[in-house]
Amino acid sequence: MGKLFLVFLLCNAGLSSGVDITSNLTEALESFHERLRNLPEDMFEVQLDLGKFTANEEMKQEAENQSKQIRSKLSDMSSDMYNLRFVVDRLSELEAEKEDDKEEVEEGCSSWYLGMNLNPSDGHIMGYETGWSDDTSIGTLEDALIRDYLNQTVWNMPAKYIAIVRHHQGKLDAVKVFTFKHWGLSLSHRFKDTDPGRNVVTEGGPVQEYTVPGAHNLGDDPVFSVGGDLAFNWGYSRNGARLVLTGGHLSGADVDDDNTHGFGNNFAIRPKMVEDPEAYPDWAHEISNIQDCPYPSCTQRVGVKIQGTDHGSGPTLKGGPVYGNYAIYISNDSPTFPTDGANLGINVEMCEN
């Protein structure tokens, strides 16, 4: 965006008070973003018009190349705006906290931040290689709780607590909260630690467990049907799962049984590599349920049970019901996630009564 753009927004937002600044700045960013999202399409129309010139083919080609570069930059700027808006929202919260009186401060509110959301049937496969460790944001703020989403700003924040939340379009269904063994590390750092990987990253099991009365599909849920702690980057032979629970089956390091199940899965991959150019996308699958169907006895007829449609074309991968979206939140100051029935958001506040 550049410093001049931010200065322009701040000047136009007004300087009467901290609250006024953040409120007007948020509105200015939203307005700018709305205009910016249309610019790549407008530039595409320019490209089409340039194709109508016939007087000088060399100059026309140069103009078309420049317009393509501009369109690409505009698309990148639109993506960057999502992260900028998130940071500004967080700054707005901090500014509001600064303005609060002592009574509000004593309420002891703490924050949870959305780092990732997984929708196993949105047409985007978050397998072992996609998103977890490649420093790329995924999705939009508007669709953060209904499609696959990853916010790199949150992904790079140090965290003490992590919450796995199953939900239906933002309505909480079940939650587990864990405490990290090592508090000062970000999720990005943890998911890049693939060699040797197989890291049990939390300790003591869940510090909070809650399931909405009447919730369905809990018998083989990859998070809520088993106990234990969280393990990241569970590589075994030429297979890997990004997030699993130790209460499920954890295959040995050299055991090629396709039988560890959780989030961000891939068979036929070298899991110690952050990026494997020889990975087989046919075997990527976003969410697999708890089951015991080891290779090679797990036949095509029985199959590996996958939630939804977000999986490759591997013949033993069998899509099935979606149990919900799964959101990953982090916090540095609260071991408790709110379960009061309020809808989830990008940030979730937990306040002491």
What's the chain's length in residues?
353
Q: Mean pLDDT lowest for which of 27-41, 142-156, 269-283, 319-333? A: 27-41
What long-range pairs does 274-283 form, CB within 8 A, spacing at least 24? 274/133, 274/134, 274/192, 274/194, 275/129, 275/134, 276/129, 279/128, 279/129, 280/312, 280/314, 281/125, 281/127, 281/312, 282/312, 282/313, 282/314, 283/312, 283/314, 283/317
Q: Is pLDDT larger for residue 262 or for residue 45?
A: 262
**324 CB contacts (<8 Å, ≥6 apart)?**
166, 167, 168, 173
Q: Global pTM?
A: 0.74
Q: Is the pLDDT of residue 254 over 60?
A: yes
Per-residue pLDDT tens over the stretch 137-149:
999 999 999 999 9
What Cα–Cα distance (Å) separates residue 248 from each residue in 215, 222, 262?
Answer: 21, 8, 9
SS3 letters for 155-205? HCCECCEEEEEEEECCEEEEEEEEEECCCCCEHHHHHHCCCCCCEECECCC
Residue 17 — pLDDT band, cuts 50, 70, 90?
Answer: very low
- Average pLDDT of the segment spanning 153-158: 96
- Average pLDDT of the segment spanning 335-341: 92
Residue 85 — pLDDT band, cuts 50, 70, 90?
Answer: confident
Q: Is the pLDDT of residue 20 over 50?
A: yes
Q: Is the pLDDT of residue 94 over 90?
A: no
How many Å from the N-terminal Cα to the C-terminal Cα in the chain? 41
Segments in 187-283 forming alpha helices (H): 187-192
- Give the DSSP per-residue string, 86-97: HHHHHHHHHHHH
- Average pLDDT of the segment spanning 301-324: 95
Residue 31 is predicted with a pLDDT of 76
Residue 78 is predicted with a pLDDT of 67
Q: What's the CA gap between 110 and 191, in Å, rounded?
A: 25
Residue 2 is predicted with a pLDDT of 43
Residue 92 is predicted with a pLDDT of 76
Residue 13 is predicted with a pLDDT of 43
Q: Is the pLDDT of residue 250 over 80?
A: yes
Residue 306 is predicted with a pLDDT of 97
Residue 5 is predicted with a pLDDT of 44
Residue 238 is predicted with a pLDDT of 96
Query: CA 257, 261, 267, 269 torsion: positive or negative?
Result: negative
Return the residue matching tokens 């939390």: 202
Residue 81 — pLDDT band, cuts 50, 70, 90?
Answer: confident
| Cβ count within 10 A of residue 198 | 22
Residue 185 is predicted with a pLDDT of 96
